[in-house]
Amino acid sequence: MPSAVLGDAHGIAVLDFGAFLDGSAREDVARAMVDSFKRVGFVYLVNHGIPKDKICTMFDWSKRFFAQPMEVKQLAPHPPSGTHHRGYSAPGVEKVVQHIYDKDALQEVRAKAPDVKESFECGWEESESMPNIWLPDDTLPGFKEACLDFYWTCHETELNILRALAAGLGISEDHLVPYHNAHDCQLRLLHYPSVPAQDLLEEKISRIDAHSDFGSITLLLQDDVGGLEIEDPHNPGQFLTAPPVEGALIVNAGDFMMRWSNDVIRSTVHRVRAPPQMKVVNGMTPERYSIPYFCAPDMSMVVECLPGTYSAEKPPKYEPISAGQYILHRLAASY
C-alpha cells in the first residue's frame, strides 16, 4: 500500500494529498485517487491545501449568517429560477432530486418530504450571467469578503485536484485546468436546522434526498455531526455511511465528469440523513453545517470524451456538449 494511502472509510480511500503537492508521492496519490473515483466516486483528502484557520473562520461566518433573523437573511433572496444559484434559500424552497424534470412530479416529491435545510450561495463576483446576491453592506460586515476569499482558496485546491485526476488518468496534468477558470463554480454554505428526530427517521422530512452532483467535482467540508451517505456501488439502493474524517476534505465526481471520462469515473448517488448514533436532545436532532464547493467547467466550454478513455474498440459513448447546455438543465430541476 503506498504511503500516501492512509486507509479507507467504508470503502472510500483516505489519501495524504500533501504527498502530491510536495511531489514525494505524486504518482501514487494520483493513481489512488482515480482508483477511488472509479470504485465509489468519492475520496477523502487530508493535507489538501485549504488552511485549517480559513476553514474554521468560514464555518464561523456561516453560523453567524444563519443565526440572523429570517427577515435579514431574506435581504439577499435566492431568485425563484433554479438557473440563478446565488443568494439565500430558506428551508423547504429547494428540493434536491435525481433526474425529475416534470414540474408536477417535482411538486409532489417536495410536498411528500421537503428538504429542511437553508443555504447561501456565491460565485465569481464579476459574473454577468449569474451575479452574486449579497446582504446590504451594513449588514454582517465582512461576510462578503470572507466568502469571496474562501471561494478563491477553494479554486486553488480545485486546480490541484484536477491536476491529480488528469495524471491518474494518464493524460497531461494540466489538461483539465484551462476548462476551469472558476467563472461558473459555486460556493454553498449549508445549515441543517435541528428537527424532530422521529420525523427524520420516518422520512416525513429530509435533509437532502439521494442525488448525484452534476458538475466536474465537488469539494466538501463538514462538521463532525455526520449524516452523509453514499450508495453502495455493488448494491444499488443500499447506502453506506461516509463519516467525518478529522482534517479531511471529501471530494466526489459529478455527472459531467463521468460523461467527460466516458464513464471511466463514477458519479455516485449520495444523500444526507439522520446521523448514526446521533445525540437526540428532547426529541430533536443536532443541527449540522457543511460547506460544498461545486466545480464546473466554464459554461461556454464544449467538451468531448477525454483522451485515453476511448479507443477504436471502445468508442466514445457521448457526443461533444457545452457545459452550459448540460448544467443549466440540471440546475432548473431543483426548483
For the domain with range 5-332, which CATH number is right: 2.60.120.330, 3.90.870.10, 3.40.190.10, 3.30.360.10? Answer: 2.60.120.330
* Higher pLDDT pick, 47 / 194: 47
pLDDT confidence tier of residue 304, bands split at 50, 70 and 90: very high
* Confidence check: pLDDT of 208 > 90: no
Q: Is the dihedral of CA 31, 32, 37, 42 positive or negative?
A: negative
Q: What is the mean pLDDT of residues 13-19?
A: 97
Least confident range of 72-76, 153-157, 230-234? 230-234
Q: Using an 8 Å Cβ cutoff, are 145 and 54 in contact? A: no
Alpha-carbon distance 200 to 286, whole Å?
Answer: 12
Amino acid in the structure at residue 14 = V
CA distance 85 to 130: 7
CA distances from 70 to 16, 162, 205 (A): 41, 38, 21
- Using DSSP, state whether 11 is helix, strand or coil: coil
d(CA 296, CA 141): 29
What's the mean per-residue pLDDT of the chain? Answer: 89
Per-residue DSSP letter, 148: H
Sign of torsion over alpha carbons 229, 278, 62, 117: positive
pLDDT higher than 50, residue 77: yes
Q: Is the dihedral of CA 159, 160, 163, 165 positive or negative?
A: negative
Are the C-beta atoms of residues 33 and 168 closer than 8 Å to each other? yes
In what side-by-side order are the strands of the sheet with 87-89? 5-9, 12-16, 42-46, 249-253, 217-222, 288-295, 186-192, 118-122, 87-89
Question: Do the Cβ atoms of 47 and 21 come closer than 8 Å?
Answer: yes
